[in-house]
Structure formats: C-alpha cells, structure tokens
Amino acid sequence: MTTGGDNSLTASQAAASLQDRANVIDDWHGDGTRGNWFKRAAFVNNAAGTFGNAGRNSVLQPGTWNIDTALSRRVKVREAQSVEIRAEAFNIINHPNFGAATTSISSGNFGKILTSGAPRILEFALKYVF
C-alpha cells in the first residue's frame, strides 16, 4: 500500500518519494469482490516524517487460472497435398482473471479492481498444403 505522497519527507527521488508505505491499523481482509477487494479503512496515511508499517506486497491480489488447448487434424487429399484443420481455445474454462486492485491511498479507485483478463477465445483455421 502506498500513500501517493511524500509524507516521510525524504524526497530522495521524484518517483520513489511518492511510494511511501501506508500504516495498517486493522485487519485488511475484505469481502473479495471487485469493488471491495480489501478493507480500505484499514489503511491510513503515515504521519509526517515517519515511514508507514505496511509491508511491500503485503496485500494478496487475485490469482489467475488459464487453460489453453488446441486440436489439429491433417487429411491427405492427394499424394503431395493435404488439408489441415485446426481449432484453438484460449481460457477454455472461461474463468474470470481479475487484475490487481489499486493500492494507492490517494487514488479514487483505492481498493477496487478495474481490469480483467480476456474471456474465452476460440480460433479455427483451415490450411491447404501443396
């Protein structure tokens, strides 16, 4: 969890100074939904001149499941010619793979999951080899 500001007053680097850690004041485990992945009220800004107590990558993010498969068949038409039929399926179980929740306290989307992976995708191909 980051604060999105330089509350520690270190200002060592422009990008790093906006990565202060927040303070954890309660159990952060939420209900696991996309709009409330973790309890937002469990995190507060660190006090001025101090570092927050939230550990790096301390909040678990959603995992992913992905099973891809392909089937192909080659059929001879003549001695030197054939037709190849191919079917491919990506994310065949059509499991929702959510992205990471927003972890910056200064963001209006703090604690929300805004992205997800691709749904089931099917591809079919027919190739004539001569």
Q: What confidence tens digit (pLDDT) does each residue in 33-67 have?
A: 777 788 888 888 888 888 888 888 888 888 888 99
Q: Where are the beta strands (DSSP E) in 2-58?
A: 23-24, 29-33, 36-38, 43-44
**Residue 113 scores a pLDDT above 80:** yes
Question: Based on C-alpha coordinates, what's the Rg of the chain?
Answer: 24
pLDDT at 14 exceeding the cut of 70: no
Three-state DSSP class for residue 84:
strand
Considering the entire predicted model, what is its pTM?
0.66
